[in-house]
Amino acid sequence: MKYTIGIDLGGTNIVAGLADEQYRLLDKAAVKTQPEKGFDYITDNMARLVDTLLQRAKLTPADVGSIGIGSPGTPDKETGSIIFSNNLNWHDVPLAAAVRQKTGIRTWVANDADCAALGEFVAGAAAENTSMALITIGTGVGSGIVMDGKLFCPAGSSAPELGHTTLICGGESCTCGRNGCAEAYISFTALIRDGNRAADAHPDSMLAKLRREGQALNGKNIFDCGKAGDPVAKELMDRFIEYMGQFLANVANSFGVRAIVVGGGISKEGDWLCRRLSEIVVREMFVGEKFAPVIRMAALGNDVGVIGAAALEQYR
């Protein structure tokens, strides 16, 4: 059996996992990232994690087919370098080459959002589909796409950045400098912004009451107030879901994916939200239901990036 190793490089932790041929995780090891200590320190730690996994499984580098790394920032697909990462303060660093040299194992690099999509594709919520998109709703809006069994990551590009496509022309300002991006409407940051505005405008709402009790608004408590029937919160929640549904229909119309997986904190809302989003997508799809993708919540939790990275050589 050939094993693979996936490495999820985050701003806080580096997590490495040993996977079998079905991309099931057999073991994991982690270390603090400490990005301020620089590129060599981080790649030394990656090699050490790989060594730990091999020793614990009584394997040698020859038993491992490949290493995949999911990194923040923009990778160069051909060379395996990271062209730019804001989070790690990296400019054109040879990530794949360094890890390959330190471990003796073939190494590939992709963006962390792409690895997450691949994880849900090989072992998660979209495992029986040939094309899928993962949309992660959190502070921002992340996106990754698998098309006909291959990760969609065009050379010389940071695409897909679906969160920075326009949902409302001339709308709210976005962190990227544009106006009206999807991220400015369907991220938790956007929901909290609108929740605070609504609480200011409606002092009798549950949202304003929460704030008076000293609770900061967040995605979950705004949704909870909406589900509990507070009319101000419900209007916000309904509009947020409508925007999300419209956005997912745009994704489906653009890429023809058969499944869209929703990840991030909002995925905890579960089936009722999937049904609402599906109704909107079916209503908004070109040619309607026939081509509408299934909408699912993410299945893999925190391991998704490691699992996707482990599958990178096969699906890149």
- The residues binding Zn ion (CB under 5 A) are 164, 174, 176, 178, 181
Shortest separation between residue 131's beta carbon and Zn ion, angstroms: 25
Nearer to Zn ion, 133 or 181 (CB): 181
Shortest separation between residue 158's beta carbon and Zn ion, angstroms: 12
Q: Read out DSSP for 216-280? A: PP-HHHHHHHHHTT-HHHHHHHHHHHHHHHHHHHHHHHHH--SEEEEESGGGGG-HHHHHHHHHH
Alpha-carbon span 233 to 269, nearest angstrom: 16
Nearer to Zn ion, 51 or 172 (CB): 172
Shortest separation between residue 181's beta carbon and Zn ion, angstroms: 3
Q: Across-strand partners of 307?
A: none
How, if at all, do strands 107-111 and 64-71 pair? parallel
Token pair for residue 10?
């985050």
Nearer to Zn ion, 179 or 253 (CB): 179
Angle at 184 between CA 183 and CA 187, to 5 degrees: 55
Looking up tokens 């303060």, which residue turns up? 89
| Cβ count near 301 (within 10 Å) | 10
Nearer to Zn ion, 186 or 217 (CB): 186
Q: Which residues lie below 8 Å from residue 222, measured CB to CB, with a gap of 6+?
A: 191, 192, 195, 207, 233, 236, 237
Nearer to Zn ion, 174 or 186 (CB): 174
Q: Across-strand partners of 232?
A: none
Shortest separation between residue 174's beta carbon and Zn ion, angstroms: 3
Nearer to Zn ion, 76 or 172 (CB): 172
Shortest separation between residue 185's beta carbon and Zn ion, angstroms: 10
Taking the C-alpha atoms of 79, 30, 124 and 140 in order, what is their torsion angle to the nearest 10 degrees?
Answer: -70
Alpha-carbon span 71 to 42, nearest angstrom: 12
Nearer to Zn ion, 172 or 279 (CB): 172
Shortest separation between residue 41's beta carbon and Zn ion, angstroms: 32
Shortest separation between residue 206's beta carbon and Zn ion, angstroms: 30
Q: Side chain identity at 214, as an amino acid letter?
A: G
